[in-house]
Amino acid sequence: MYPDDALAVEYYRPGQQGGCALREWHDVLALVHLSASAAPVAAAGIPVVHVAAPPLGGEAEVFEVWRSAGPLRCGADGRVRHRSNHSVLFGCVRVCEQEAPADLAGATPLQWATATAYQAIFDCLRTRRFPHLWRMWNYLPEINRETEGTERYRQFNAARQQAFVEAGRYVAIRVPAACALGLTPASPLVVYFLAGAEAGTPIENPRQVAAYEYPREYGAASPTFARAMLRRGTKGTTLLVSGTSSIVGHRTVHAGDVVAQTRETVANIRALLAEATRHAAGVEFAIEQLTYKVYLRYERDLDACAAELRRALGPLVPIVFLRAEVCRADLLVEIEAVGHGRRAQ
């Protein structure tokens, strides 16, 4: 049982020995089913999100299991399915671009889907009285492809930023941690998120320009996210690290070299942990105490990336590797993480 305001994630591989038991639902906020294709999952009303980012290394499927203490309540508001206790809410929404109306008033189908998803999320947060977004996961089909004259990631960023503005939420220092990855053409837009009754503390990386301050060469609308989110609870402090890549300042470095990009990404995560430790008075974050999710553009890079990560993190750190497109075409790897702080000595 977790403390009354704790938040934890673990990865369950069906058939593994000693893994978490999916039948134990009392503290499960949600399941994220990571596989090439969806399969029915009986989850007692708990939200199940399918993300078509297949695991690498011979595994057909992996479940991302989010847990917090009960009592937990399930519900739905419009398109959003959610589950919550008194301090944290997990929600998810999916929108197919094919649902878009014929007259989009100049928007693209992806922009319509993004606006629809985010409006549903903000409506849900108002209704449920969880005003503070901590972390968002965005998965969209063909993130790097150009359609209607613009890269789809830039289309998504424009619609996301506009949704924050229209909801009165676009304050740079209060945007959530986030990631955006690309899936296959047949995938819907999938967004899942964590929100709280209390605000978290956004963390920026001193080695990088804040994403919301990127120059216009990356698009007319900057990405709307913080590099990490620090969440303090009465029983512990959690750090939610955004999708992190081989970017220094605002530029990609080590193009074409997955080992060097992995090494640079780890350096960025170390810098984030140091910054989080500076903000979390009396709490330290150690890189070997996080749980990692790694996205690779090419399956052929798995062995090289995994070896570099094991060298940096050690042999026992939990890592799951997935196949997905990273938001920039010259990025080969993106890494996100969740971890808990420990009292400073």
State residue 30's pLDDT score: 95
Is residue 54 within 8 Å of residue 39, measured between CB atoms? no
Q: What average pLDDT score do residues 53-82 get?
A: 94
The pLDDT tens digits of the residues spanning 72-113 come to 999 999 999 999 999 999 999 999 999 999 999 889 999 999
Q: How far apart are CA 17 and CA 242, in angstroms?
A: 30
- φ/ψ region of 224 (left if φ > 0, alpha if ψ in -120 to 50, else beta) reads beta
- What per-residue confidence (pLDDT) applies to 24? 64
Average pLDDT over residues 163-189: 91
Are the C-beta atoms of residues 24 and 49 closer than 8 Å to each other? no
Residue 17: is its pLDDT beyond 60? no
Q: Please determine, for residue 23, whether its predicted confidence score (pLDDT) is greater than 80.
A: no
Domain ranges of the chain: 8-343
What share of the chain has pLDDT > 70, as a percent? 94
CA distances from 310 to 241, 315, 339 (A): 19, 5, 17
Per the prediction, the chain carries an average pLDDT of 92
Residue 214 carries which side chain, given as an amino acid letter? Y
Sorting pLDDT into bands at 50, 70 and 90, what band is 232? confident
For the domain made up of 8-343, the CATH class stated in words is: alpha beta
Closest CA to 32 of 45, 51, 16, 19: 51
Q: Give catalytic status of residue 166 as yes or no.
A: no
pLDDT at res. 16: 63
Average pLDDT, integer, range 58-66: 93
* HSE-up of residue 33 (Cα within 13 Å, Cβ side): 17
d(CA 101, CA 30): 31
What is the predicted pLDDT for the residue at 3? 43
- The span from the CA of 90 to the CA of 77, in Å, is 13
Q: What tokens appear for 165 in the block? A: 């503005």
Confidence of residue 1 (pLDDT cuts 50, 70, 90): very low
The listed range with the strongest mean pLDDT (24-33, 160-169, 259-268, 273-282) is: 259-268
Task: Report whether pLDDT(248) > 90.
Answer: yes
Report whether pLDDT(279) > 50.
yes
- Measured CA to CA, the distance from residue 267 to residue 282 in angstroms comes to 23
Cα pseudo-dihedral 200, 283, 7, 269, rounded to 10: 80
- Tokens 């937990």 label which residue? 72
What angle, rounded to 10 degrees, do the helices at 152-166 and 109-128 form? 30
Do residues 64 and 34 touch, judged by C-beta distance below 8 A?
A: yes
* Catalytic position from the list 64, 97, 151, 334: 334
pLDDT digits (tens, 9 = 90+) for 104-149: 988 999 999 999 999 999 999 999 999 999 999 999 999 999 998 9
Can you tell me the mean pLDDT for 237-254? Answer: 97
**Region 163-182 average pLDDT:** 90
Quick check: 190 pLDDT over 80? yes
pTM: 0.95
